[in-house]
Chains A and B, each alone.
Chain A
C-alpha cells in the first residue's frame, strides 16, 4: 500500500470516527446534548484526533527511518573489494537503486515475472538489455552482486512497506477504539481537544526552533573543521585576505568585517534620517489619504529584488559618484566603491526604518499628543518631547532590524562595491563584505575539505553571531517598549 493511499485510508477512518463519535456522544446522553460536559462535536473531534494524529506521526517516523535501515542492510551486501571507500560505495548503491527501480518497472510492464526473479542469474540473462527495453539505461552490465543487492533492496522495501501499512492502520484502530471507549457524559472532550491544539502549536514551533538549531549546528560543525586546519588566531586577527587555491593562503576576517561595517554604516546613514523623517511626516502630518497612498509606495522599495538595486548601483550610482565626486576630489577612479553600495543599500532599507517606525509612532496613544498640545506645545515640540521619546525604543528596534538586513546583503555589494578585500578609510575605494566572500569561496573549484572552502562556514558563523546579537538587542528593546503601553 503506498503512503498516499495509506494516508487517505487513515483520514477516512478518522472522519468516520468524527461522525460516529459525535453520534455516540449524543446517544450516550440519551439524545439530550445539554447533559454532556462537552458539545458532541468535541467528542467527534477527540475520536478524529486520536485516530489520525498518532497514526500519521508513526507513518512519518517510519518513512524517515525506513530508507536508512534498507540502505544499511543492502550496503552490507556489496563486497569490500568492489567498493573500498565511502564514495565508491555510494556509487555502487546508486547502481543498486537504479537496477531495483528498473526491475520494478520491468515487472509492472510484464517484461519479467516476479517468480523468475528468484532464480535469475545476472550473468546468464541480458538484464541490461531487458532493463533498457523498459526505459532504464544502465552504464554497464549488471554484476551478480549488484543484482542480488537490488533483489534484497526490493524485497526489504516490499516487506517494510507492508509492515508500515499494518502498523499505521493498527495505530489508527487502537486510537479509534481508545477514544471511542472514553466517550461518556462526563468525559471532558473539550479539554482534550484543547490540549491537542496546544500540542500541535508546540510541535509547529519546535519544528522552527529545531531547524534553526540544525542550521547553527551544521555551521558550528564545519567551522570546527576549519579551525582544525587553520589557526583561529590568524582568522580573527590577520589583516590580509588572500585565499590561494593550492594552499598557503591568508584568511583574515578583519578586512571583510571592516567592509561589512563600513557599507552598513553608510547604508544606515542614508536610511535612518530619510526613513525616520518620512515616518514622522506620514504619521503626524500627512492626511490620511496621502498616507494610505504613499506608505505602500515606500514599502515597494523593500520588494524590489536586490539584483535590480545591484544593477542600479553598477550602472547609475557607481559611475555618477566616480565622475562627480571621486575623480574631482582625487579620491580614486573606481566606479565600484563602498559609497555606491552603501547608498544603494540605504535606499533599499529605507522602508524597514520608515514603515516600522511609522507603525510604532502611530502606536503612541493619541492622548499623549492631546496632553502635550493641550498644554500649548506646537506639533513639532510634541513630536520631539513626547512622541519620539515614547516611541524611541521601538524606533531603535526598527533601526537595528534594518542594520541586520544591511549586514546580510550580498548582491548589492558585489555589484556596487566590488569583490576586493581591503582595509581602507577611503569611501570611494572598492571593498567587499563577509557575505560576498562566503559566496565566492563556496563557488570556487577547490576541494570541499580545504580551508579555503571551509572558511565560508567560519565567516557565516561570525556573521550569524553578529546579526543574532543585533536582533536580540532589537527584540529586547521592542519588548521593553511594549511593556509601557499595553
Chain B
C-alpha cells in the first residue's frame, strides 16, 4: 500500500448534495443496512469501501430508489437530495433516476446496437432536438467513457457483442449520456485493464467538476486515487466516514485500519 498516491483533496464545494439519516434496509428478515448516516457533498467523489456483502451496493441502490424493484426490500430512515426527501410519496422515482444515474456492478448492455444503447437515455428524456445532436451526445459520451476508438466503426453492431470490459465502459457511456446530477458507480472498473481503469478514473475526476460521483470499489488504491471522501462499511454498519486522506493515513476506528491494511475482508 506504499504506492498510494493521495489525490488532490481540495473540495470545491461544501454544500451537501445528498443527506442520509438513519437509513435501515431490510431484505425480508435480513437486516442489510443498520443506521447509516452519510453526507455526500456536491462536486465531490465519494468512495464506498468495505468487505464483500457489507451493504455497499445496497446503500447505493437506496440513493436512486432502485431497491423499489426488489421484492421484499424495505428502506427506512430519510434520504434527501437537495433537501428533498426522495422517499416522499410525492417524488416520482422515474424522475429521480433520471437525475441520479447508475452504473451497475455487472455490465448490462441492452441487446441493441452500441449507438442505441448510448442514445437510449437521451431519447426517452427528449434531451436532443435532432439526429445530429443525438449523434454528438453519443460520440462525446463514448469518448468520455474511453470507448470511442474501439466502437466508432461498429456503432451499429450489438452492444452485447463487446468484451466484458468494453461492455462496462458502454454502460458508463450510457449513464453519462443522460447527464445526471449524481452518478452512482458500482465497481465500474472491476473488469477493466489498467489502461482503461486509468481512463475511467480520469473521467471520474473530470465529472467531479459538474456533479457528485459515488463510487464503490474494492481497490484501496483506486479509492485513494479518485475520491475526496471515503466511507467504510462493515457488516451493514457505516463504520467510518471522512476525508479520504484521513481514512487512509489516520483511521479512527480499529476496524477501518485492519481493513485498509488487509487484515479483515
Complex-state Cα separation, A484 to B174, whole angstroms: 20
Whether the pair B120, A373 counts as a contact (CB closer than 8 A) is no
Chain A 352-374, CB-CB to B under 8 Å as 1, else 0, gives 00000000000001111111111
Whether the pair A372, B66 counts as a contact (CB closer than 8 A) is no
Whether the pair B106, A376 counts as a contact (CB closer than 8 A) is no
Which stretch from B34-42, B78-86, B91-99 is at the chain A interface? B91-99
Whether the pair A376, B98 counts as a contact (CB closer than 8 A) is yes
Whether the pair A374, B106 counts as a contact (CB closer than 8 A) is no
Complex-state Cα separation, A385 to B112, whole angstroms: 10
Whether the pair A374, B94 counts as a contact (CB closer than 8 A) is no
Whether the pair A371, B171 counts as a contact (CB closer than 8 A) is yes
B211 within 8 A of A: no
B104 within 8 A of A: yes
B124 within 8 A of A: yes
- Min Cβ gap B152→A in Å is 22
Collect the chain B residues with CB atoms within 8 Å of residue A484's CB: 111, 160
Whether the pair B124, A386 counts as a contact (CB closer than 8 A) is no
A381 within 8 A of B: yes
Nearest neighbor of B65 in chain A, beta-carbon distance: A373
Collect the chain A residues with CB atoms within 8 Å of residue B101's CB: 374-375
Collect the chain B residues with CB atoms within 8 Å of residue A370's CB: 66, 69, 104, 108
B3 within 8 A of A: no
Collect the chain A residues with CB atoms within 8 Å of residue B174's CB: 371, 375
Near A by CB (< 8 A), chain B positions 91-142 give 94-99, 101-102, 104, 106, 108-112, 120-121, 124-125
The interface size bin for chain A is 20 to 34
A26 within 8 A of B: no
Whether the pair A368, B108 counts as a contact (CB closer than 8 A) is yes
Collect the chain B residues with CB atoms within 8 Å of residue A366's CB: 69
Nearest neighbor of A481 in chain B, beta-carbon distance: B111
Whether the pair B94, A372 counts as a contact (CB closer than 8 A) is no
Whether the pair B94, A367 counts as a contact (CB closer than 8 A) is no
Whether the pair B66, A371 counts as a contact (CB closer than 8 A) is no
- Min Cβ gap A290→B in Å is 12
A113 within 8 A of B: no
Chain A 452-473, CB-CB to B under 8 Å as 1, else 0, gives 0000000000000000000000
B227 within 8 A of A: no
A378 within 8 A of B: yes
Other-chain contact of B69, A373, A375, A376 (Cβ < 8 Å): A373
Chain A 64-94, CB-CB to B under 8 Å as 1, else 0, gives 0000000000000000000000000000000
Collect the chain A residues with CB atoms within 8 Å of residue B178's CB: 375-376
A331 within 8 A of B: no
- Min Cβ gap B100→A in Å is 9
Complex-state Cα separation, A390 to B108, whole angstroms: 13
Collect the chain A residues with CB atoms within 8 Å of residue B214's CB: none
Whether the pair B66, A375 counts as a contact (CB closer than 8 A) is no
CB within 8 Å for A389 and B111 given contacts A372-B120, A374-B66, A376-B98: yes
Complex-state Cα separation, A373 to B104, whole angstroms: 12
Collect the chain B residues with CB atoms within 8 Å of residue A373's CB: 66, 69, 94, 97
A288 within 8 A of B: yes
Nearest neighbor of A392 in chain B, beta-carbon distance: B111
Collect the chain A residues with CB atoms within 8 Å of residue B97's CB: 373-376
A377 within 8 A of B: yes
Whether the pair A385, B108 counts as a contact (CB closer than 8 A) is no
Collect the chain B residues with CB atoms within 8 Å of residue A376's CB: 94-99, 121, 124-125, 178
Nearest neighbor of B180 in chain A, beta-carbon distance: A376
Other-chain contact of A385, B104, B109, B120 (Cβ < 8 Å): B120
Whether the pair B98, A375 counts as a contact (CB closer than 8 A) is yes
Chain B 7-38, CB-CB to A under 8 Å as 1, else 0, gives 00000000000000000000000000000000
Nearest neighbor of B177 in chain A, beta-carbon distance: A375
- Min Cβ gap B29→A in Å is 17
Collect the chain A residues with CB atoms within 8 Å of residue B175's CB: 374-375
Collect the chain B residues with CB atoms within 8 Å of residue A368's CB: 108, 110-111
Complex-state Cα separation, A377 to B102, whole angstroms: 13
Complex-state Cα separation, A381 to B98, whole angstroms: 13
Collect the chain B residues with CB atoms within 8 Å of residue A367's CB: 104, 106, 108
Complex-state Cα separation, A368 to B99, whole angstroms: 19
Near A by CB (< 8 A), chain B positions 159-213 give 160, 171, 174-175, 178
Whether the pair B104, A377 counts as a contact (CB closer than 8 A) is no
- Min Cβ gap B236→A in Å is 22
CB within 8 Å for A372 and B69 given contacts A378-B94, A381-B124: no
Collect the chain B residues with CB atoms within 8 Å of residue A390's CB: 110-111
Collect the chain A residues with CB atoms within 8 Å of residue B98's CB: 375-376
Whether the pair B94, A371 counts as a contact (CB closer than 8 A) is no
Collect the chain A residues with CB atoms within 8 Å of residue B153's CB: none
- Max chain B Cβ within 10 angstroms of own Cβ: one of A374, A376, A385, A484: A374
Complex-state Cα separation, A367 to B96, whole angstroms: 19
B64 within 8 A of A: yes
- Min Cβ gap B34→A in Å is 24
Collect the chain B residues with CB atoms within 8 Å of residue A377's CB: 94, 120, 124
Complex-state Cα separation, A263 to B210, whole angstroms: 61
- Max chain A Cβ within 10 angstroms of own Cβ: one of B94, B99, B125, B171: B94
Whether the pair B69, A369 counts as a contact (CB closer than 8 A) is yes
Complex-state Cα separation, A390 to B96, whole angstroms: 26
Collect the chain A residues with CB atoms within 8 Å of residue B109's CB: 371
Complex-state Cα separation, A311 to B64, whole angstroms: 55
Collect the chain B residues with CB atoms within 8 Å of residue A389's CB: 111-112
Whether the pair B120, A374 counts as a contact (CB closer than 8 A) is no
Collect the chain A residues with CB atoms within 8 Å of residue B112's CB: 389
- Min Cβ gap B54→A in Å is 21
- Max chain B Cβ within 10 angstroms of own Cβ: one of A368, A372, A375, A381: A375
- Max chain A Cβ within 10 angstroms of own Cβ: one of B96, B111, B125: B111
Whether the pair A374, B102 counts as a contact (CB closer than 8 A) is yes
Complex-state Cα separation, A369 to B120, whole angstroms: 13
Collect the chain A residues with CB atoms within 8 Å of residue B160's CB: 484
Chain A 388-410, CB-CB to B under 8 Å as 1, else 0, gives 01100000000000000000000
Complex-state Cα separation, A436 to B265, whole angstroms: 72
Whether the pair B108, A371 counts as a contact (CB closer than 8 A) is yes
21 example contacts (A-B, Cβ-Cβ < 8 A) are as follows: A368-B108, A368-B110, A368-B111, A369-B69, A371-B174, A372-B110, A373-B66, A373-B94, A374-B64, A374-B101, A374-B102, A374-B104, A374-B175, A375-B101, A375-B174, A375-B178, A376-B99, A376-B121, A385-B124, A386-B110, A390-B111
A residues sitting closer than 8 Å to B (CB atoms) are 288, 365-378, 381, 385-386, 389-390, 484
Task: Known pairs A373-B69, A377-B124; list 12 more (Cβ under 8 Å).
Answer: A366-B69, A368-B110, A370-B104, A371-B171, A371-B174, A374-B175, A375-B175, A376-B94, A376-B99, A385-B124, A389-B111, A389-B112
9 closest cross-chain pairs (CB), A and B: A376-B98, A367-B108, A374-B102, A376-B97, A371-B108, A375-B121, A390-B111, A378-B94, A377-B124
